[in-house]
Amino acid sequence: MAAARICCHLTYEVEGLENLPKDQAFIVLSKHQSAWETLSLRVILPMQTTVLKKSLTKIPFGGWALASLKPIAIDREDPRAALRALAEQGIARLKEGLIVVIFPEGTRAAPGEDKKFNVGGAMLAQKSGYPVIPLAHNAGEFWPRYSFLKYPGTIKVKIGPVINSTDKKAKDINSEAETWIAQAMKEITTS
């Protein structure tokens, strides 16, 4: 993040840190537009783990380093096994006190592109009883996917209110997070 600030004049500001529960782990459902959030959320949020493609952990050096961070590595080729792994490993990580960060769109979406949320994160919330925090940002406007170029400016990160998962169905949790994130994106999108 310091290199982005110095070399690219790219900074960020966070709104809503007060919404993060202080006394328990939780699940973050985050917008996914670029590589920026995969790096910066490590700085912005407390101790965490992420859900990622299992194949990323096999990349020499970088992937091995990722594997040491106790990710929830899933095989997207087998959706049932992926959901099972997410539930088992996710609940274990939450019980360890780690925050679980999930990008429910599954892959990066360009600014203005809306992808349907996958149910995995909401299902983890339903099964575990842990709360969900929705998170929106406009990083893709400054750090586009598949682009070497980074543009100067200030990335806006907006952290939403707690979504209680108790006695809610996964589809309702997902819908609530998706609706909040869509509204927040309208508020922070610059282009």
- Judge contact between 146 and 109, C-beta under 8 A: no
DSSP at 69: T
Residue matched to tokens 């939450």: 94
Between β-strands 153-159 and 132-137, what pairing exists: parallel, antiparallel or unpaired? antiparallel
- Mean of the per-residue pLDDT values of the chain: 92
**Is residue 2 very low, low, confident or very high in pLDDT (cuts 50, 70, 90)?**
confident
**pLDDT (average), residues 141-166:** 92
170 pLDDT more than 90: yes
DSSP at 147: -
CA angle 24, 25, 30 (to 5 degrees): 135
What is the pTM (predicted TM-score) of this model?
0.91
pLDDT tens digits, 7-62? 889 999 999 999 999 999 999 999 999 989 988 999 999 999 988 888 888 888 88
Structural domains in the chain, CATH included, are: 14-188 (3.40.1130.10)
